Structures are given as structure tokens and as C-alpha cells.
């Protein structure tokens, strides 16, 4: 594993070795996230390529504090865009689609939120609630709705049953819905 500061310094010098370091250190993780969202190994590999290209063009001027988080954020956005594009062409079921259906009960789809300011406020309030949750409950929520992890995978990673994970997600969605209503956002 390479030092993130070293990778960023190489990117700032426009040294292509940085991209190979990123692929070696974070490629598997980024492909896994993209696969969870798109449901396709081929699309996941293309998302990784898109992410590497985006990193090449964004550093500099950007200099992320957390390279892993930055890469996951870019990969997630690329995978969601690819998923939306593919879904327009054909209907299909992935873990991402299932997670979207679950959370849609609480957080409206982007077309339902009137303005960008309201969307940002909704995201900020959601983050506030998540910070107040116990670590395990927060981890389950983020794994499912941000990283689109399958319930089975979350259960295995945390040593829980699938039903316990589902129950935790249900309770968290209910808390989130109540909290957003109280804040006047639903």
C-alpha cells in the first residue's frame, strides 16, 4: 500500500505512475463499489477507468484530505450515472435498485425535491441524524444506502443475521422519517 500523500504529489507532478498506484491500492475497492451499483463487472471496470481519468484531471487543483473517500465518491457518482444510463435503456434489478426502493420511502427522489438548497438541507439533516446513531447502526445504514452493499454482505461483515440487519435498516429509516418530518423537510 502506497502513501496517499505520495500518490497525490505524483498526480500534481503529472506522473502517470500515480494512476497505477491508485489502481493497485484502491482498484479492487472501487470496482466492488461500482459493481454493487451497476450489477456488471464490465461496467464496474469502466467506472474505475472513468474514476482514474477524473482523478487525473481533478488533482490538481483539488488536493483531497482523504484519497480513499475521494476515490469512492468519484466511483460512486460514475457508477450511479452509468446505472441510470443503462436503466433508461433496459430495466434491471441490482442491489442499488433495491436500496433505492427502500430509502425512497423516506427520502424523495431528486426530481421531487424542489430546489438544490432544500436537497442540501435534507442531506445535512440526514447526516446529523446518522452522527447521533450508535456506530453499528450508522455503519449498516451507510453500507446499504451509500455503498449499496447487499444485506447478506453487511450481516456477514458485522456478525449479524440478515433479519437483524433488515430490522436495523427499518428502524433507522423510521427514525430518519420522523426526524425529517420534525424538521419540516417531509
The alpha-carbon radius of gyration of the chain (Å, integer) is 18
Select the more confidently predicted residue: 171 or 87: 171
Within the chain, what is the greatest distance between any pair of CA atoms?
51
Q: Domain spans of the chain? A: 4-89, 97-182
Average of pLDDT values for 124-140?
Answer: 91
- Domain 4-89: give its CATH architecture: Orthogonal Bundle (1.10)
* 78 contacts: CB under 8 Å, gap ≥ 6: 34, 47, 50, 51, 54
pLDDT band at 43 (very low <50, low <70, confident <90, very high): very high
Select the more confidently predicted residue: 51 or 83: 51
Q: Are the C-beta atoms of 125 and 103 separated by less than 8 Å?
A: no
Instruction: List the one residue out of 1, 5, 14 whose CA is nearest residue 58.
Output: 14
What percent of the chain lies above the pLDDT cut of 70? 82
Average of pLDDT values for 54-75?
Answer: 91
Per-residue pLDDT reduced to its tens digit, 26-35 = 999 999 999 9
Which of the four CATH numbers 3.60.20.10, 1.10.150.530, 1.10.10.10, 3.40.50.300 does domain 97-182 have?
1.10.10.10
Instruction: List the one residue out of 88, 95, 89 whose CA is nearest residue 38.
Output: 95
Burial of 75 from C-beta contacts in 10 A (0-12 / 13-18 / 19+):
buried
pLDDT score at 83: 82
pLDDT over threshold 80, residue 61: yes
Per-residue pLDDT reduced to its tens digit, 134-165 = 999 999 998 898 888 889 999 999 999 999 99
Amino acid at each position: 500500500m502506497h502513501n496517499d500523500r505520495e500518490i497525490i504529489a505524483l498526480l500534481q507532478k503529472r506522473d502517470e505512475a500515480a494512476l497505477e498506484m491508485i489502481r493497485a491500492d484502491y482498484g479492487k475497492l472501487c470496482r466492488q463499489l461500482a459493481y454493487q451499483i451497476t450489477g456488471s463487472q464490465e461496467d464496474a471496470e469502466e467506472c474505475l477507468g472513468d474514476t482514474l481519468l477524473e482523478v487525473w484531471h481533478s488533482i490538481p487543483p483539488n488536493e483531497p484530505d482523504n484519497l480513499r473517500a475521494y476515490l469512492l465518491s468519484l466511483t460512486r457518482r460514475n457508477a450511479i450515472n452509468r446505472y441510470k444510463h443503462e436503466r433508461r435503456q433496459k430495466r434491471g434489478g441490482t442491489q442499488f435498485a433495491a436500496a433505492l426502493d427502500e430509502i425512497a420511502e423516506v427520502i424523495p427522489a431528486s426530481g421531487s425535491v424542489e430546489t438544490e438548497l432544500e436537497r442540501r438541507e435534507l442531506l445535512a439533516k440526514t447526516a446529523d441524524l446518522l452522527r447521533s446513531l450508535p456506530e453499528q447502526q450508522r455503519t449498516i445504514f451507510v453500507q446499504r444506502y451509500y455503498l449499496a452493499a447487499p444485506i447478506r454482505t453487511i450481516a456477514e461483515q458485522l456478525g449479524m443475521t440478515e433479519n437483524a440487519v433488515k430490522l436495523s435498516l427499518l428502524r433507522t429509516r423510521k427514525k430518519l422519517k420522523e426526524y425529517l418530518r420534525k424538521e419540516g423537510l417531509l
